[in-house]
């Protein structure tokens, strides 16, 4: 995971320097064209997680598959062991391509498709209407349905932005069994209906988004249709299998653990070189000892890279000046095995 070969067709390069190559994307395939409008500008600001965006080191496979997803206007399903940077990939793409703040949708077993699309608060609206009848508020204010509708991360990502928004659907393997299939329809149509708005005689309103409760967007005819299909990153820890129809409509990439001590050292340097280094970014010998020990221990059970970062940070502040035995003991206490199963050759 060092320098990436130069490919003229790559929009995302993995170089971490912001640029506007996303504007060079060709028109989508005929079956992936969407006609939402009028076009909305990209919200100002960066990815929302600057450290993850600039410290992530994508491999060649990740760079290639990100570009495939961008060209094909398809979701990217990212698998891999904990700590391999699955979520960080979304922030890195948003940062480099200038696509604004990442819309984050964390998944649990209780999450439904509706949760990702929008939320409607009828009780607060009823309370406002009652206050209006009592003279405490005007009836027009009570009838402004936009005050009680807020788009979720998925619903916001599907607004008609001129450039794609980045949507991170985190740990989709924890979802209810029906959610992947429910997402298929939305991803194929690129649109959805706000039922409460569509039922009104005047199905137009300015509603809140996942970005802000103060800035509103106008929804016309009770329907949202995308213009640029969002760049969707769905992460999975491999805890379940997905339906073939779902996998067929995704671009997939499996992020591997660093294969060498040198790769692992480079990752630590990106994250902590400025903190534990000597000013030039070079890591102290104590950090190299912890990295080598961590790499050797991986064959005995599951370890995540963020555990290594925690261990080096703690050892820097507490133990690098102590005997090597004390450093190793603290590092292993901070980075215990997450399981007793050997990680296998694929993760080495």
In this prediction, residue 338 carries a pLDDT of: 85
Cβ-contact 204, 218 below 8 angstroms: yes
Distance of CA 159 to the CA centre of its chain: 17
Per residue in 88-120, pLDDT tens? 999 999 999 999 999 999 999 999 999 999 999
Domain boundary among 254, 281, 313: 254
In this prediction, residue 1 carries a pLDDT of: 43
User: Is residue 132 located within the same domain as residue 268?
Assistant: no
User: Is residue 175 located within the same domain as residue 288?
Assistant: no
Plot region of 281 (φ>0 → left; ψ -120 to 50 → alpha; else → beta): left
User: Is residue 90 located within the same domain as residue 162?
Assistant: yes
User: Is residue 188 located within the same domain as residue 322?
Assistant: no
Domain around 323? 261-334
- Asked if residue 11 is part of any domain, the answer here is no
Domain boundary among 191, 226, 254: 254
- Asked if residue 12 is part of any domain, the answer here is no
In this prediction, residue 279 carries a pLDDT of: 66
Per residue in 119-167, pLDDT tens? 998 888 787 777 766 555 555 445 688 899 999 999 999 999 999 999 9
**Nearest alpha carbon to residue 251 among 29, 78, 89:** 78
User: Is residue 169 located within the same domain as residue 70?
Assistant: yes
**Phi and psi dihedrals of 24, rounded to 5?**
-90, 0
pLDDT of 204 over the 90 cut: yes
Cβ-contact 284, 107 below 8 angstroms: no
**Nearest alpha carbon to residue 93 among 69, 125, 128:** 69
Angle at which helices 324-334 and 305-318 cross, to 10°: 140
pLDDT of 289 over the 80 cut: yes
Domain boundary among 231, 254, 277: 254
User: Is residue 310 located within the same domain as residue 237?
Assistant: no
pLDDT of 291 over the 90 cut: yes
- Asked if residue 10 is part of any domain, the answer here is no
- How many structural domains comprise the chain? 2
User: Is residue 247 located within the same domain as residue 265?
Assistant: no
- Asked if residue 317 is part of any domain, the answer here is yes
Cβ-contact 120, 149 below 8 angstroms: yes
- Asked if residue 2 is part of any domain, the answer here is no
User: Is residue 149 located within the same domain as residue 120?
Assistant: yes
- State the pLDDT confidence band at 8, using cuts at 50, 70 and 90: confident
In this prediction, residue 126 carries a pLDDT of: 82
In this prediction, residue 181 carries a pLDDT of: 93
The first and second tokens of residue 60, run together, are 């060649």
User: Is residue 299 located within the same domain as residue 175?
Assistant: no
Q: What is the pTM of this model?
A: 0.89
User: Is residue 99 located within the same domain as residue 176?
Assistant: yes
Q: Which is higher by pLDDT, 13 or 344?
A: 13
In this prediction, residue 129 carries a pLDDT of: 76
Q: How far is CA 248 from CA 32, 314, 322, in A?
A: 15, 44, 54
User: Is residue 229 located within the same domain as residue 294?
Assistant: no
- Asked if residue 94 is part of any domain, the answer here is yes
In this prediction, residue 236 carries a pLDDT of: 95
């Amino acid at each position: 995971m060092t320098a990436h070969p130069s490919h003229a067709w790559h929009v995302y390069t993995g170089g971490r320097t912001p640029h506007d190559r996303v504007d060079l994307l060709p028109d989508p395939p005929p079956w992936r064209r969407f006609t939402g409008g009028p076009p909305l500008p990209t919200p100002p600001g960066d990815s929302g997680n600057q450290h993850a965006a600039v410290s992530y080191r994508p491999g060649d496979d990740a760079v290639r598959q990100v570009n495939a997803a961008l060209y094909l206007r398809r979701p990217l399903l990212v698998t891999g062991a904990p700590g391999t940077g699955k979520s960080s990939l979304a922030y890195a793409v948003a940062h480099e391509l200038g696509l604004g703040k990442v819309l984050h949708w964390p998944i649990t077993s209780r999450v439904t498709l509706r949760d990702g699309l929008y939320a409607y608060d009828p009780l607060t609206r009823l309370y406002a209407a009652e206050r209006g009848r009592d003279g405490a508020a005007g009836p027009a204010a009570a009838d402004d349905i936009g005050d009680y509708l807020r788009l979720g991360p998925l619903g916001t990502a599907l607004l008609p932005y001129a450039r794609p928004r980045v949507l991170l659907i985190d740990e989709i393997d924890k979802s209810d069994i029906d959610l992947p299939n429910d997402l298929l329809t939305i991803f194929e149509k690129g649109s959805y209906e706000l039922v409460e708005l569509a039922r009104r005689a005047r199905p137009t309103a300015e509603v809140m988004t996942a970005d802000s409760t103060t800035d509103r967007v106008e929804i016309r005819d009770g329907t949202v249709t995308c213009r640029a299909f969002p760049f969707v990153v769905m992460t999975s820890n491999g805890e379940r299998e997905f339906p073939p129809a779902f996998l067929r409509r995704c671009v997939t990439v499996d992020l591997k653990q660093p294969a060498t001590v040198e790769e692992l050292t480079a990752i630590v340097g990106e994250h902590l070189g400025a903190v534990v280094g000597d000013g030039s970014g070079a890591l102290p010998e104590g950090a190299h000892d912890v990295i080598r020990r961590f790499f050797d221990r991986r064959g005995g059970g599951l370890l995540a890279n963020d555990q290594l970062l925690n261990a080096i940070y703690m050892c820097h502040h507490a133990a690098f000046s102590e005997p090597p035995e004390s450093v190793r003991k603290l590092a292993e206490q901070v980075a215990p095995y997450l399981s007793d199963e050997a990680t296998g050759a694929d993760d080495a």
